[in-house]
Chain A
Amino acid sequence: MSVLDSKVPEGPLKDKWTNYKDKINLVNPANKRSIDIIVVGTGLAGGSAAATLAELGYNVKAFCYQDSPRRAHSIAAQGGINAAKNYQGDGDSTFRLFYDTVKGGDYRSREANVYRLAEVSANIIDQCVAQGVPFARDYGGLLDNRSFGGVLVSRTFYAKGQTGQQLLLGAYSAMNRQIARGKIEMHNRHEMLDVVKIDGKARGIIARNLVTGEIERHSAHAVVIATGGYGNVYFLSTNAMGSNATAAWKIHKKGAFFANPCYTQIHPTCIPRSGDYQSKLTLMSESLRNDGRIWVPKKMEDVLAIREGRKKPTDLSEEERDYYLERRYPAFGNLVPRDVASRAAKERCDAGYGVNATGEAVYLDFQSAIERYGNEQAKLHGLTNPSKEKITELGEEIVRAKYGNLFQMYEKIVDENPYKTPMMIYPATHYTMGGIWVDYNLMTTVEGLYCIGEANFSDHGANRLGASALMQGLADGYFILPYTIGDYLSHEIRTGKIPTDTPEFDEAEKAVKDRINAFINNKGTHSVDYFHKKLGKVMWDKCGMSRNATDLKKAISEIKEIREEFYKSVKVPGRADEMNPELEKAGRVADFLELGELFAKDALMREESCGGHFREESVELEGEQKGEAKRNDAEFAFVAAWEYKGEPSDAVLHKEELEFKDIELKQRSYK
């Protein structure tokens, strides 16, 4: 019998959220003034939640490790945000967005949560426009949309290639208004190092002031974790350097179950790595796949000629190119979902067709788009018999208007002009669908402890569709948590201020200080990065785009070894009572070294292929889908929520069975 209760309301899918909202308990405005809420992380989820809760009248304390909430890594999201507005009249609806998201997630998400997400999606766009977010518009002054992978409608709203930035600045501005009113107490350059539980309820956190090194106690009636994903467990990812899983891992150790850690998204269009010194990978927006065509040479001799510099990609004729996505998936072509596109690139590169020196790159080519737009423009301008050069010039203008900043970014990094020669891309870790288990209220398995945004597991199943991360972060923060947390807090109106001079705070603070001192006093020989890179290599090689039982078992024992070596010989210079970036990193990597092992254990347990989790043992053996991922609904249609019991190897599995009442489970075909 599972201990997990998802608390999904009764009733038909489309009425659940409305009925739920009508029936929950509310807190009156006077009482809200005496209730404190801690929000850790100020990206789209945390920022929007902090602002909204403060608007409602609660006292919010917000924390971020950066020097400003505006710098959270949501800012780097490029492409856009989905919403079922149907402004294009192309058949979109709440149900279709819900359906696409569940299907895209390979039927491993909770139906009721996803439907609610689709339901509030339209409100997000209204709210952001009211805040002054400058979305792209057409010449009639109305909002423009574009299309993203895995769907057949245009429902993605965008602000150039900087949608995440503009949405985050919107949430940041809403926060600023509340900071000015004194309703948000903002703690920049602070890192949460543990959660404090009293009588089973989350009642506060221990945080380190990253400027002075001081260890601080903060209490509240509820704690919200919005600290993003754990992609940096791979060392190299598209995450920010500081993105970490420490807050999530600390609450896991205090009783919050960790769900589906093996569901990781490897994004297909990133700039390939260039050397061992590489510190991070850069994403090129998925929107590029609207116009770019992905290919490798058909013949091995051309591959070798290109690698040795004897041939250029532009020397190859159409017949000599293998547009492998268009070949394998004619219905969706270059716009298949991310997991499918990534695996297809790996398949070609593993077969030896990679086009750069490392053998890990494929082409993303804009030549056809430039020609197509050029011809269109020539017609619009009334040019008869335009020269090839003129067509290229006109076409490049359109491509520049659409993707100019991305092309410039590519050129800066790679030193090649993508208008003239195809881009080189390769998959990289980008997003983690797994995360802290939450119920319908977004509460974890610890009372009063909530988890929102990428940090939780709830909405994307085993694979996230493009432009859905921004939607989920803002849905959780603006429109869902403010209701659900109120229902919980309605029982806290008589609690009074939570004191911080209690044994529970003493104990948590002591544990944090002991750990910091252990790092500082360790007379080790290797830097933190040395171990992080070692962990990253194991994760990428054995828990990356395709996984098998043998390698996963090896990964588990290797990660354990790295962890032991880390504690023995990590070297952390400097002092605890000052700004010390190496000390910050040490704590984060220590947590990744445990999370990585649970990740491999989860991947080993899940003997099926679904979404971003591809088990080599589970593929279709015949028919049209031969070689494609094979899901096993009979045995694995559940959420794997792990309970902490000491070492990651001792973690106990709890299953939340997934029920699909409004959607028929099908093989995800993009052929």
Chain B
Amino acid sequence: MNLTLKIWRQNGSQDKGRMVDYQVSDISKDMSFLEMMDVLNEQIINKGEEPVAFDHDCREGICGMCSMHINGEAHGPDKGITTCQLHMRSFKDGDTITIEPFRAKAFPVIKDLVVDRSSFERIQQAGGYISVNTSGNTQDANAIPIDKHAADKAMDAATCIGCGACVASCKNASAMLFVGAKVSQYALLPQGQVEAVDRVKNMVAQMDLEGFGNCTNTGACEVECPKGISLENIARLNREYFKANVKG
């Protein structure tokens, strides 16, 4: 199929940036979206111009590196996938596709479609861990039985890949789903209880400091999350935060 691509080009964080049109032809429906971008870049390089910079790595939907806004949706039109898992069979011959970086104050553009998500790193550093040193003398893994339902729920929350689609989809650019997922994983497990109060307070404080917006419960994050992280995690985050503040 033949397509028109409208792509955001921005040469560094100081550049203003603009949309540029490109044509690609003979695109197979079995190609992934990023393979289509490879074809485009090969074409641009052969013309002697600079290819479009975009983040990508594992190309199997788990590393969370790829991050495009395609036709106004994070990771494109299909549900429950990342951009690298999107296939061209989701588009039609003659389509015009708009490709932009994730947009949020806390995710400044580095170049073209590449954004800086180090704000997520700093939130995790504020409390996204259990303080246990490596020793070889921790208690046996089966010493504390954990209710299967709780373990499964913790796993569901832990599947977050940190891509930032939740932030990019939220009209307030809120990071509540991302933070909620991590807080929930530990809140659901006995190992996470000891530091629960400090963890939620510190992570939320860092989230606010980074300039993410507030949550107004519109649920766009859940809809666009490639891993289907549930809004339940935001509710749990609010509960944990409230509990922590009551406890002091």
Contact = CB atoms under 8 A, between A and B. Distances in A.
B139 A126 contact: yes
Interface stretch (A379-387, A571-579, A657-665): A571-579
A70 B139 CA distance: 26
Interface stretch (A158-166, A190-198, A320-328, A452-460): A158-166
Given A142-B145, A579-B111, A173 B128 contact: yes
B117 A68 contact: yes
A275 B136 contact: no
B57 A71 contact: yes
Given A68-B117, A134-B185, A138-B148, A282 B30 contact: no
Interface string B109-152: 01100101110110011101111111110111110011110011
B118 A67 contact: yes
A55 B53 contact: no
A128 B216 CA distance: 35
B199 to A, nearest CB: 11
Interface string B183-212: 001100101100000000000000000000
A478 B85 CA distance: 33
A160 B62 CA distance: 13
Contacts of A573: 45, 48-51
A571 B120 CA distance: 36
Contact of B65 (A48, A67, A166, A238): A67
Contacts of B62: 75-76, 162, 165
Contacts of A180: 125-126
A581 B55 CA distance: 9
A165 B35 CA distance: 24
A557 interface: no
Interface in A73-88: 73, 75-76, 85, 87
Interface stretch (B91-99, B153-161, B235-243): B153-161
B31 interface: yes
B58 to A, nearest CB: 4
Given A66-B65, A141-B146, A527-B46, A277 B28 contact: yes
A140 interface: yes
A180 to B, nearest CB: 4
B114 A579 contact: yes
B59 A279 contact: yes
Given A52-B134, A573-B49, A174 B65 contact: no
A517 interface: no
Contacts of A240: 57-59, 63
Interface in A127-145: 127-132, 134-143
Contacts of A70: 64, 162
Interface string A578-621: 11011000000000000000000000000000000000000000
A280 B59 CA distance: 7
Nearest to A483: B136
A172 B12 CA distance: 29
Interface string B59-74: 1111111000000000
Contact of A76 (B39, B46, B63): B63
B30 to A, nearest CB: 5
A412 interface: yes
A277 B39 contact: yes
Interface in A196-234: 211
A127 B111 CA distance: 40
B176 interface: no
A240 B58 CA distance: 4
A398 to B, nearest CB: 16
Interface in B14-51: 28, 30-32, 34-35, 38-39, 42, 45-46, 48-51
Interface residues of A, number: 79
Contacts of A408: 80
B145 A140 contact: yes
Given A127-B138, A479-B136, A527 B34 contact: no
Of B50, B134, B191, most A-chain CB atoms within 10 Å? B134
A581 B154 CA distance: 37
Contact of A174 (B39, B121, B134): B134
A238 B60 CA distance: 9
A55 B133 contact: yes
B65 A527 contact: no
Contact of B139 (A130, A238, A478): A130
A60 interface: no
A163 B111 CA distance: 33
Contacts of A277: 28, 31, 35, 38-39
A141 B152 CA distance: 11
Given A132-B191, A134-B155, A278 B35 contact: yes
Contact of A132 (B12, B117, B192): B192
A241 B126 CA distance: 30
Contacts of A622: none
Taking each of A139, A173, A179, which has the highest tally of chain B beta carbons within 10 Å of its own beta carbon? A173
Contacts of A279: 32, 34-35, 38, 59
Interface in A11-66: 48, 51-52, 55, 66
A85 B186 CA distance: 25
28 contacts: A52-B134, A66-B65, A68-B118, A68-B120, A71-B57, A71-B162, A76-B60, A126-B136, A129-B141, A130-B139, A131-B132, A132-B154, A134-B151, A136-B155, A141-B145, A141-B147, A162-B159, A172-B124, A211-B110, A240-B59, A274-B30, A279-B35, A280-B60, A408-B80, A412-B87, A415-B87, A529-B38, A582-B51
Given A70-B162, A160-B155, A275-B30, 6 more contacts: A73-B58, A128-B141, A132-B185, A238-B60, A573-B48, A578-B11
